[in-house]
Structure formats: structure tokens, C-alpha cells
Amino acid sequence: MPAIIQPAVVGATGYAGFELARLLYRHPRSKKPVLFTRDTDDGLAQLDEVYPHISGNGGFPLQPFEWKALRAQGVDVLFLATPHEVSREWVPEAMRHGVRVVDLSGAWRLLQRESRAVYDFHDGDPAAAEQLTSQAVYGIPELHRERLKTAELVANAGCYSTSIILALAPLIRAGLVDLDHGIVCDSKSGVSGAGKQPTQKTHFIEVAENFSAYSVFNHRHTGEILEQLGLSAEQLIFTPHLLPIPRGILSTIYLRLKSPAEAHDVEACMKTFYASSPWVRIFPAGKLPQIQYSLHSNYCDVGFVLAPDRRRAVIVSCLDNLMKGAAGQAVQNMNVMFGWSEEEGLR
């Protein structure tokens, strides 16, 4: 694998794209990333025109996206921090150009058509899209590390999905969870999770001093959770909420175990599962993470409490939606793809 690579980012003017650009600029194995704009960014020449707080760092030049520019600059990996429909259209062309892709949208995360229906994709070549869907590797390194090493297309996992999947995977894979009893995932996210394009629901006057649920039973990340954990729709209730804070996710997960368990055994199950995963921190039994502990980092923090009956459990999972939930995880995926330590450029 090359010691130094040339990355490119489309969508660096968005919140996740900006975090990604900053991470790549300081990554020890990355050349300065090529930052491409789309038509929606017409007239922008420098990223600091949008984010003045990075001024004085040598410049973050932007250039209009063109495939020939991608080839001319020898891009090894293309990050798409673009809307789902844009990624769905551009990825097939990137594959034809032989460029590896890490896509931060939901365009390629879902294998099942019924799960993808929430996006209402209209593919120009449905057969080619189906083939790419089957080839895409779901971008949670802790679950798909080996497949990521040879992946040409990585579908970076969703932010809510990451917080829930990482919390539940060890116990479900160990067969400890009473799935027939069902799992309830009560998740809260900061406003940046809604993206940079403002809507009525994300205006300050709507968010400040408020707390609200949304997309109940039809959130786009539900399909990811079901597919990655092998659950049926009847076994999961997932409700997202909007917190009046800029960033961060906290998921409170309620479940029942198949049989009574000791807290130290549950903790050991989680710690063993993530023994080789530097970005998942398992808290001691009875101690719960908070959003502030993982902010501006690539950590996913997981803690739990068992009820006195030793069968009911509450798991709390926290991460930064722009880092482990988006840009940080994208860089972590890149590190695995190119054979580097998962911690490169993220400490």
C-alpha cells in the first residue's frame, strides 16, 4: 500500500465535509486533499470564505468538480459528502474511473430494496446500481474490518446507526438478547446532524429551549440498524430526537436478556468484542457515558446498567455525529482500506 495518498473531497462546505477536510489536512499519510465544489457552491474559491476561523492556515482552495481534474491530480480515494441522490449518480462513474470511494451519504448503505425505498432512488442503470450495492462495504470498521481492506466502495455508516449498532452488536452476536421481547432505541442528536441546509425545524427559534421527536417509525437509519444487526422490523423501535445543542448523539437502548446475567459478564462480552477496536470505549458496569466525553473525538462510548432482576438492561451509547458518526469514521475507513492503523490522523 502507498505510504502517502492523494484524497479528494466533494462537499467540504458542509458540516461533515468540513470536518473531513480538516482531518485530511493534518493526516500524516495524506497529501493536501483536493477540495471540489458542485454547482451549488458556485463562486467559492476558498473554504475559509465559508469557515473564516480556518483563515491563515495556508489556504483551503476549492475547485469545480470535473472527472478529468480528478484523473489529472492522481486522486487515490474520493470522499463524497454529498446528498444521497448525487452519490447514487456519481459513484458508478467513479468506479469506471478506477477511483476508490468513501461515500458519506446513505446512497449505498442498504442491501434490501424495502429498506432503500425510503430514499426513492431512480437509477439510470438499475442493474449496475444493484451490482454496486452488493459490492459496497458498510463502513463500520469494528464490524467489517477485513472486507474494508479490499473495498472499492465504502458506504460510511449513518450517525444514529453507528451509535446503536456498536452498542448492540456484542450482545446480539453472543446470543444474549431476548429479541422476541423487542429492543427500544431512544436517540438524541445535536442540530448539525440535520445537515447545513436550513429547514423550519432547524432554525434557532424552533430548536432553542426545545426538545422534539421526529421521523417516528420511518427514519432513514432504521434500515441500517435492522440489516447490520439481523433484526426484523417488529423487533426494533427506534425514535430519534432533536437536541438544542450543536453536535453529539446519545442513544438510550432498552432490552431484555434471555436469561439472568452478571454485570461483569456483560461487560466482559463487550470488552472482548472490541478488544482490537481503539475507537470504542466500554465503560465499567454501572457507569454511563455522556455526550461531552466524546465530543470532537472519534470515540463511541458505551456503558450499561442491569436491573436488579439481572435480565433487563439499559445501554447508553454516545458519539460525536460529525466525527465517529461521519468524518472521523470516514478517515478510519480510509486507514483500514490502505492498511494503516485505525488511529492515524485521528488522535
Strand pairing class (249-256; 312-319) = antiparallel
Is 300 an annotated catalytic residue? no
Look up residue 114 and give its three cell numbers.
424495502
Q: Percent helix, strand, coil in the chain (nearest 5)?
A: 40, 20, 40
Catalytic residue among 159, 185, 300, 318: 159
Q: Which residue in 244, 224, 242, 241 sits closest to 233, CA to CA?
A: 224
Cell numbers of 32, please? Answer: 493536501
Please list, residue by residue across 15-40, b when 16 or more beta carbons sit within 10 angstroms of its beta carbon and e when fewer do. bbbbbbbbbbbebebbbebbbbbeee
176 touches 261 (CB < 8 A): yes
Bridge partners of 255, per DSSP, are 313
Residues annotated as catalytic are: 159
